[in-house]
Amino acid sequence: MKLSKLALSAMIASACFAGTAFGQTNRTAPKYYPASYYSYYQDGAAAQAPAPIASASNATKPASDCAAKSPACDVAAICDGKGSSCDSMASCGCGASSCKGGCGAGGLLGLGLLGGGCNLGDPWKLAPNGIAGVTVGGWTSVGYHDHNTYYNFNNYADRVQLGQQWLFAEKIANGSEGIGFGGRIDYIYGTDGPDTQAFGIANPGHWDNNWDNGGAYGHAIPQLYGEVAVGDLSVKVGHFFTIVGNEVVQATGNFFYSRQFTFYNAEPFTHTGALSTYNVDADTQLYNGYVMGWDSGFDDNGDAYIGGFKKKLNDTFTLLYTTVLGRFGDRNAGAVGENGGIQNVILTANLTEKLTYISQTDVLYTHTNAGGTFRNTFGNINYLIYKVNDCVSIGNRFEWFNFSGAAFNNVKNDDNFNYTAGINYKVNSNLMLRPEARWVWDRQHYGFNENNASSQVACGGDMVFTF
């Protein structure tokens, strides 16, 4: 891709709105809630104030004695899961061992289940103060699943595997006091690496799409961009993750270990070009940009518009709409080319303080330069996530994925369904466990399941350590 074309992309993106910002570094789907998954945008759990030091005179007194002396030391009130620490208990001189197995480790088996207490502690960071003004961090995801689900991530079954060893360096462009500059680079190694490469162009020497390392392992650099911000406007220029869709490549950005079929088969992962965001107000953001196709590095793979908006409708509902329109697969469809568009709508509803519902609908329609249908897909995905406490969340996901076209061996209106149930358990502010069970129904035996089975249950999960 010529430098002049990339510069033109930046001008087009910034000209769409006189004043934009795009601080997020993965897809800009509404977040479920802070406790449900890890994200490198968050600092982890809020630092808790240290408990007061108990005096020698009451350090060994039983909990019942403390409760009798002060209402603030009522054992039931302290250990019912409504609090996040043992501060009140410690201030009365009651040791954690006096409190039903210990405050902060309450609940079922001391794991913070069934509403018990939860104390995450402060997160450990690789570079807590940054390096020369640049934030440096990452995560390690190690997982296992007993069955493959093809046309998706998690296709290296029956092995404990390094899914993602992720490193990033980032400087946020701050335009609050004039012009601010920033940028970001991401690196991944693991079994998710090959799926994250710039596979949109078949040339094996293109960007990172031949960085394989035997077996199912590989490397990728999915983001490398610069960013400039002025006031409420920022523009990123380079190679970056898409804004389309709810699920993302990063293990830290999803509730579940597995991914949607819609995510893998119908949505872009990355773009190269320019993208702007305009913060209209605290509840409204507008996105506009120009990109050179889908899933390619710094070579031209098309010309497409990318844009949308995010709007907080009220305290309950948030709406996100995104689209990509134009030529976005000139090379990955071979000589025929690929033109069309994708429409994505996500509605997030915070039904209660603990219960969140998310509905996502995708419509993709593309055709070749010769006029034939290349890919037509429809995806509808619904999530229901319940936050037990700051340590534990329970999630459900149901997906209907319908697809047709030459990209799918000329299948017409094939339906695929999958239901996933899982748990997010935070051991502490750095470590999370994500066990799950996934049922997949392939009605027309397209090959989503092992041995072309019509139905399959896959059990698996991972542990994600952030730093």
The answer on 397 and 377 residing in a single domain is: yes
CATH, residue 243: 2.40.160.10
What's the pLDDT at 384? 98
What's the pLDDT at 12? 41
The answer on 147 and 84 residing in a single domain is: no
What's the pLDDT at 112? 52
Among candidate residues 140, 130, 197, the one with its CA nearest the CA of residue 170: 130
88 Cβ neighbours under 8 A, 6+ residues apart:
72, 73, 78
Domain end residue (candidates: 119, 138, 169): 119
In single-letter form, the type of residue at position 267 comes to E
Domains: count for the chain:
2
Residue labelled with tokens 């005179």 = 57
Q: Per the structure block, which two tokens stand in for 351? A: 């039904």
CA–centroid distance for 141 within its chain: 13
Whole domain around residue 107: which residue ranges?
48-119
CB 106 within 8 A of CB 116: yes
Domain end residue (candidates: 99, 119, 139): 119
Instruction: Report which DSSP code applies to 134.
Output: B
The answer on 440 and 357 residing in a single domain is: yes
Beta strands in 292-410 (DSSP E): 303-312, 317-327, 339-350, 355-367, 373-387, 392-405
pTM of the model: 0.78
The answer on 88 and 208 residing in a single domain is: no
What's the pLDDT at 225? 98
Residue labelled with tokens 């982890």 = 44
Domain end residue (candidates: 119, 151, 173): 119
The answer on 211 and 111 residing in a single domain is: no
Q: Per the structure block, which two tokens stand in for 365? A: 């329609």
The answer on 191 and 84 residing in a single domain is: no
pLDDT (tens place) for every residue of the chain, 467 residues total: 444 555 545 544 444 443 333 233 333 333 322 222 333 223 332 222 223 223 333 333 333 333 333 334 343 333 343 343 434 333 334 333 333 333 334 444 445 555 456 889 999 999 999 999 999 999 999 999 999 988 999 989 999 999 999 999 999 999 999 999 999 999 999 999 999 999 888 777 889 988 998 879 999 999 999 999 999 999 999 999 999 999 999 999 999 999 999 999 999 999 999 999 999 999 999 999 999 989 999 988 889 999 999 999 999 999 999 999 999 877 655 556 789 999 999 999 999 999 999 999 999 999 887 778 889 999 999 999 999 999 999 999 999 999 999 888 888 999 999 999 999 999 999 999 999 999 999 988 888 999 899 999 999 999 999 99
Residue labelled with tokens 């759990």 = 45
HSE-CB for 231 with a 13 A CA cutoff: 10
- Phi first, then psi: give them for residue 4, nearest 5 degrees: -60, -35
* Cα(344)–Cα(362) distance, integer angstroms: 5
The answer on 204 and 55 residing in a single domain is: no
* Cα(101)–Cα(423) distance, integer angstroms: 23
What's the pLDDT at 369? 78
- Quickly count: other Cβ atoms within 10 Å of residue 56's Cβ: 8
The answer on 227 and 300 residing in a single domain is: yes
The answer on 205 and 111 residing in a single domain is: no
What's the pLDDT at 149? 86
The answer on 288 and 402 residing in a single domain is: yes
What's the pLDDT at 88? 39
What's the pLDDT at 4? 53
The answer on 186 and 87 residing in a single domain is: no
Instruction: Report which DSSP code applies to 309.
Output: E
The answer on 236 and 165 residing in a single domain is: yes
CB 237 within 8 A of CB 225: yes
